[in-house]
Structure 1
Amino acid sequence: MSNSPILLWFRRDLRLGDHEALSAAVASGHPVIPVFIHDEMVASLGAAPKMRLGLSVESLGQELAAKGSRLVLRRGDAQKVLRDLVAETGAGAVYWSRLYDPATRQRDTALKAALRDDGVAVESFAGHVLFEPWRVQTKTGGFYRVFTPMWKAVRGTDITSDLPAPAKVPAPDTWPASDRLTDWRMAAPMRRGADILASHCTVGERAASDRLGAFMAHRVADYAQNRDLPAVDGTSRLSENLTYGEISPRRCWHAGWRALQAGKADAEVFLKELVWREFAYHLAFHTPQITSGNWKEDWDAFPWNADEGTPEVRAWQQGRTGMHFVDAAMREMYVTGTMHNRGRMIVASYLTKHLMTHWKIGLDWFADCLIDWDPCSNAMGWQWSAGSGPDATPYFRVFNPVTQLDKFDKDRAYVRRWIAEEQKAPTKTALSYFDMIPKSWGLSAGDPYPAAVVSAEEGRKRALAAYAERGF
């Protein structure tokens, strides 16, 4: 390679600290050319995640500039872009951090082979997960299909320390041309909701670090209880930052263990949630069909509604089902790009069980609305809720959105925060929903709140009858 540059392809690892590929590139002594590619996978993102990714790319560019470097932006097929950059810069190697969803793995495998055929060195590095999926095995050498045994297996694993950010990123003598991020218009699909959504985003490596620190200092001690209360700021909210790699799971893991050793017992629940995220990648690696089809094949013939245009599905999407917990959660997601985890279980259960609608319709809606959308985590979550995924007791777990609200939002603070129609003086957050939604929906805060499209009891009976008929 003599002193040829290394192309460092950033994807879902938009940080400088604890970045193995960056650390290796800097340690090599070669000039480093950081690159972000707006390829077909970026182009296919839904409105909210695409906008949020653009904000993260912008933040990374600023961080690199502070290190004497810059972020080169290119648009097009990843293989062609990288080959063009190799030709333009004389780069002798391409580095990137590994990802584990089937589509990305297929792309990366072909890309690695093509570049190596060109005589370019290619190295991929860990960093998006704590445990590489092929390294975590059962006692018989297989992969884990159930979460709890996997948690027990990895709980005591010695994880290496996270890496510091480099003091400086060595620059090439000449920089290749770069697109302008503004020309990509990554917020355009959000239309009039872009500014409101942006106000709810916590963007970049520094902000993610501050968020982790605040959680460990002030909220992790009560995490086990408060994480189920949607009106309480009791969670870490780090899923947004982990999605784009603005913080590493390894750094979160070590922070959790420090809190646990300091006597904050609830930190173990946080650590389990990190491993739940790992479980999603583990399954996507070993059973890639989970991202696109039923994980359990015997659900292929289940008579779900597959028409997203029905009035019931439309009501679910608009947060107008007449079920307060469902509607509050759906509106929270539409405005903020996130949804409380308890809400995610409730809305998914209501769609797939009370409304008997295919989980793919919910998955696609979330893919358009969530700023923390992830192909592995969201597929596993939807299939867990629907019953077609890795859940030991799927057929009789039908969440009752009424009793769940009584249990987790007794004073209806969460409902008031997000549902305006029944309030004389609606909250700002509840009203912001009507500033976000398409005008074509024809909804306003003055509309009457709807009756239930399917009641809690009726939906449960219908679901259980369908399961019984299929022999589940």
Structure 2
Amino acid sequence: MSDIPLILWFRRDLRLSDQPMLAAAVATGRALVPVFILDPETEAIGAAAKWRLGLAVEAFAKALEGIGLRLVLQRGAALEVLRGLLAETGAGGVWWSRLYDPAAVARDTGVKAALKAEGVEARSFAGHLLHEPWEVESGQGGYYRVFTPFWKAMRGLPVAAPELAPELACGPEQWPAGDDLAGWQMGGAMNRGAGVVARHQAVGEAAARGRLRGFLDAAVADYATLRDFPGLAGTSRLSENLTYGEIGIREVWYSGLRARDEGAAGAEAFLRELGWREFSYHLMHHTPGITHANWKPDWDSFPWREDTADAERWRRGMTGEPFVDAAMREMYVTGTMHNRARMIAASYLTKHLMTHWKVGLNWFAECLTDWDPAANAMGWQWVAGSGPDAAPYFRIFNPAGQAERFDADGRYRQRFLAELSPDPGPEALAFFAAAPRSWGLDPKRPYPAPVIELDHGRALALAAYSARKA
């Protein structure tokens, strides 16, 4: 087999180090053919995520060139593309790193079964998570529905040390033909927003590692408290890089452990947040319906409103609630949204506006450059009350009260709300440059009146909750 090439199918594992599949492949000594496939499952992701994925692919292609490989780009159904590459290269196997969302699982299961039936080695590897979703089991052998016991069990499991990046790898004598990345127009749906959001991205493995170092050198010490304040630089901002596999989760985990052992007070809280990421994948694996249906079936009868003009005001960052609108505008300007702000924006939509969480989930999937299928589903259902380990529905975040507590100096709101400042900054104005022209927004117009009075919205939500219980 040492003379037979091996195809490496890359997806959301676009890095060289802490890369189990790549390390194992290089160790075989075989000629390696890295490939990225723009298949229907990848085509279907949201505009911002697809654009950002294109940037990740471009950076990874350059990284592969540094160790003597090329990234072959091809478009089409994954199985058909792989069959074509197997025939063209004479490769005897296809390896890939596992993904866990329902669409990827269905695709990969079909690909593996078909290739094996044709006598082709088809092998999948871990690498996206610290532990495979089925490895963390309850005492009864089932899966966990509540985070705290999951976290206790997960913390007791060993984590393998990350692999080093290979210095050199062997490619085939003749490389297969591939597409030009620019021709795919991965950012086509972003329109003018791409130029705005691009300034806030940290693309590629080197940038991701630099972001991690910066966090460990500063914010990790106070992470447990500062992470809730969106106006401060208190988080790692690694969600973007973990989404595309530009940095390995084991590398991040071990870095957090070292920071904790060196006395960083906030490191344990940071590790716990990595545990939440694992928990969301654990749940998505065991209950894949969480991505599109109420995790608790008894919520199917709840009187959610579907998409409405109120929801459109929310989408446009024009609800008249400054904390909510700042959160939405942060997403359009930076491609991401602070976690505290996500909870406030989601609570306002699902509770004050009584709108189905799927409306928000789908919009976040369209607009976030750090979109993650498990975290997005878990987050929305947690806030809405319909999900596992969820906040009770009667726990309704008051945007004004949250602003007083977590943005007392108004720094976050001023950063993104041009209408509330006599001299708006560049990021507040950038929202109007990024927003679709069809919205007809103008920073010189008065800030809008609230869609609904907060007390009234809360009362309506509580009444609906009480009626559901009855």
Aligned-partner residue type, residue 320 of structure 2:
G
AA aligned opposite 1:206: A
One of 391, 412, 415 as aligned partner of 1:414: 412
Amino acid aligned to 1:321:
T
Instruction: Report the 3-state secondary structure (helix = DSSP H, G, I; strand = E; otherwise coil) of the residue aligned with 2:250.
Output: helix
Q: 1:11 — aligned with what?
A: 11
Shift of 1:439: 1.2
1:34 aligns with 2:34: yes
Alignment of 1:59-70 (within 5 A): 59-70=59-70
Structure 1 partner of 2:222: 222
Please report how far the alpha carbon of residue 87 of structure 1 lies from its aligned counterpart in structure 2 after TM superposition.
0.5
CA distance in 2 between counterparts of 1:470 and 1:87 reads: 59
Write the mapping of 1:135-214 to structure 2, written as runs, cut at 5 A. Answer: 135-214=135-214
1:58 paired to 2:58: yes
Aligned 1:445-456 pairs, distance under 5 A? 445-456=443-454
Match of 2:333 in 1: 335
Q: Deviations over 1:290-330 (max 9, x none)?
A: 01111000011111011x2x221111000000111000000
Q: 1:396 aligns with which of 394, 397, 407?
A: 394
Query: Is the Cα contact below 8 Å between 2:383 and 2:390 reproduced in 1?
Result: no
2:418 match: secondary structure:
coil
**SS at the partner of 2:122?**
strand
Q: Any idea what the Cα deviations from partners look like across 1:367-412, whole Å, max 9, x if unmatched?
A: 1100010111100100001110013542211100000000000010
Cross-structure match for 2:322: 324
Paired letter, 1:462: L
Residue 236 (structure 2) aligns with: 236
Cα separation, partners in 2 of 1:67 and 1:199, compared to 1, 3 Å: same
Where 2:253 maps in the other structure, the secondary structure is helix
RMSD: 0.9
Q: Which moved more, 1:341-350 or 1:450-459?
A: 450-459
Aligned to 1:429: 427
Structure 1: gaps (5+ residues): none
Question: Does residue 314 of structure 1 match 2:309?
Answer: no
Aligned pairs for 1:308-387 (under 5 A) are 308=307, 310-387=308-385
CA–CA distance in structure 2, aligned partners of residues 2 and 448 of structure 1: 69
Q: Structure 1's 265 and 157: CA in aligned 2 closer, same or farther, altered over 3 A?
A: farther
TM-score by length of 2: 0.99
> How many Å apart are 1:424 and its aligned residue?
1.3
Query: Structure 1 length as normaliser, TM-score?
Result: 0.98
Provide the rounded CA distance (Å) in 2 between the counterparts of 1:183 and 1:301: 46
CA contact (8 A) 2:381 2:390 kept: no
Aligned residue type for 1:98? R
Partner residue, 1:261:
261
SS of equivalent residue, structure 2 residue 301: coil
Partner of 2:87: 87
Distance 2:326 2:188 in 1: 26
SS at structure 1 position matched to 2:441: coil
Q: Which amino acid aligns with 1:79?
A: L
Question: Alpha-carbon deviations, 1:325-344, whole Å to 9, x = none?
Answer: 00000000011110000000
Sequence identity (%):
59
**Could you tell me how far apart the structure 1 residues matched to 2:123 and 2:42 are?**
22
d(CA) in 1 for partners of 2:173, 2:21: 21
Q: Distance in 1 between matches of 2:36 and 2:459?
A: 50
- Look up the match of 1:46: 46
Quote how far apart the aligned CAs of 1:263 are: 0.8
Contact 2:2–2:28 (8 Å) recurs in 1: no
Whether the 8 Å contact between 2:384 and 2:391 is mirrored in structure 1 is no
- 1:448 is paired with a residue whose SS is coil
Structure 2 counterpart SS, 1:50: helix
**Unmatched runs of 5 consecutive residues or more in structure 2:** none
Amino acid at match of 1:464: L
SS of structure 2 residue aligned to 1:34: strand
Q: Which amino acid aligns with 1:182?
A: A
Aligned to 1:78: 78
Shift of 1:2: 4.8
How many residue pairs match? The answer is: 470
* Structure 1 residue corresponding to 2:467, chosen from 426, 451, 469: 469
